[in-house]
Amino acid sequence: MSLNSEANLSSMEPTCVDTSLNLNVIPSSHIDVAGEFLVEELRRLNSENKRLSETLKHVCESYVALQKHVSEFNLLKNADFEKEEKPSPKRKVENGVNAYAECNTEEETFKRPKQSTTPKVSKVFVRTDASDTSLYVRDGYQWRKYGQKVTRDNPSPRAYFKCSYAPGCPVKKKVQRSVEDPTVLVTTYEGEHNHGEHEMEISGKSESPGGGGGGGTGSVGCSRSASSGRIEALELVHSRVVDMNAQKSWIHQFLVQQMATSLTRDPNFTAALASAISGRILDDTSMSKR
DNA sequence: CGTATTTGACCGGCGC
DNA sequence: GCGCCGGTCAAATACG
């Protein structure tokens, strides 16, 4: 879940994976003539490993710095949209727009210039399971779906919900999958609930498709009421942190796999390892005999 | 049978 | 004025 991943952030924060291997496993004593070659080979691999570790460390640092810059840039962009109060209802410029950047904008706020009181709009990004194709986001409120539409800029359908907990609650939400990452559900909330947050249901029964049956979607729920843009920005950053952590974890696994694969595929290494182990066993047996 | 979801039709805003 | 598009309505359908 997203909250846990935030807690793991501190442990993940050391930007780079420690890929260095302690290859000095053979004591310098008890080396015969054949072993010298192995030691030489191990030294060579060790130095190469150190060099690669340095390179990887540098790449990781650059990556994290770049991510930081992107986050700061998007936060600034968000702040700029809040400052702009002129209602300029303009249709979106489609195609080639970064999904995240597009979701930062608050254009929906300005699409209804007739309304004297513009409803508060907020967006929440929810990462779901790749196999989960539903558009149901469990956020603690009870929603009634009243429409679904395929929009021009996104092949995945957009679902429209109304808050059904209180009869007069004006809050609506739209749920649509991100263009770039279909596992991310972009939820847009409009308006404010006229009932308290204590009414948020606990059983997790709401928002299940098919006539209020059980279930749920298995998606990550970010419960919140529609509120300030600052919280939106935090949500946005939070979702990105989750993404970054996932990426780091993936990189970690990938590197470990790559190392294991490359080492096991190297006939020199496997031969050296086998002889080193057998040599060590022979040493131990000869030592115990004395 | 009651309630929620689905989905095609309709409406209104906007650009050309 | 016309067509496109997003948003909403409501009849049909599904489900418990």
Write the DSSP symbol of residue A216.
-
CA-to-CA distance for A249 and A252, rounded, in angstroms? 5
- Nearest alpha carbon to residue A162 among A175, A145, A140: A145
Spell out, as residue ranges, where chain A has pLDDT lower than 50: 1-28, 30-31, 77-117, 198-247, 285, 287-290
* Cα distance between residue A280 and residue A288, in whole Å: 12
Among 1.10.3720.10, 2.40.10.10, 3.50.50.60, 2.20.25.80, name the CATH number for the domain at A121-190: 2.20.25.80
The tokens describing A103, both together, are 């979701």
Distinct helix (H) and strand (E) counts, chain A = 6, 5
| Residues A189 and A121 sit within 8 Å (Cβ to Cβ) | yes
Tokens describing residue A288: 């115990």
pLDDT of residue A160: 92
Give CA–CA dist A180/A100, Å, rounded: 8
Q: How many CB atoms lie within 10 A of CB A14?
A: 10
A136 DSSP 8-state letter: -
User: Could you report the per-residue pLDDT of A246-267, keeping only the tens digit for each?
Assistant: 445 555 555 555 555 555 555 5
Q: Which residues touch strand B (CB under 7 A)?
A: A 89-91, 111, 113-114, 143-149, 159, 164, 207-212
Measure CA to C1' and name the residue nearest B3: A211
Tokens standing for residue A123: 């967006």
Q: Which two tokens stand for residue A102?
A: 């597009």
Query: Which residue's CA is nearest to the C1' of nucleotide C6?
Result: A151
Within A 138-177, residues with CB less than 7 Å from strand C: 146-147, 149, 151-153, 158, 160, 172, 174
Query: Chain C bases under 7 Å from protein CB?
Result: 4-10, 14-16
Round and report the angstrom distance from CA (A122) to C1' (B2).
34
Tokens of A14: 């050391």
Are the CB atoms for A23 and A241 separated by under 8 Å? no
DSSP state of A30: S
Q: Is A123 helix (H, G, I), strand (E, B) or coil?
A: strand
| Both tokens assigned to A54 | 């340095």
d(CA A15, CA A60): 6
- Report which residue type is found at A209: P
Query: Cβ neighbours of residue A110 under 8 Å, at least 6 residues apart?
Result: A87, A88, A89, A118
From the alpha carbon of A91, which nucleotide's C1' atom is closest? B14
Query: What is the reported pLDDT for A41?
Result: 76
DSSP string, A174-215: EEEE-SS-TTEEEEEEES--SS-GGGS-SSS-TT-TTTT-S-
Distance CA A139, CA A219 (A): 10
DSSP A94: -
> Closest residue to B15 by CA to C1' distance?
A91
List CB contacts of A144: < 8 A, sequence separation 6 or more: A161, A162, A163, A164
Domain ranges of chain A: 40-70, 121-190
- Which 8-state DSSP code applies to residue A266? -
List pLDDT tens digits, range A94-134: 333 333 333 333 333 333 333 344 557 788 888 777 666 67
What Å value separates CA A146 and C1' C10? Answer: 10
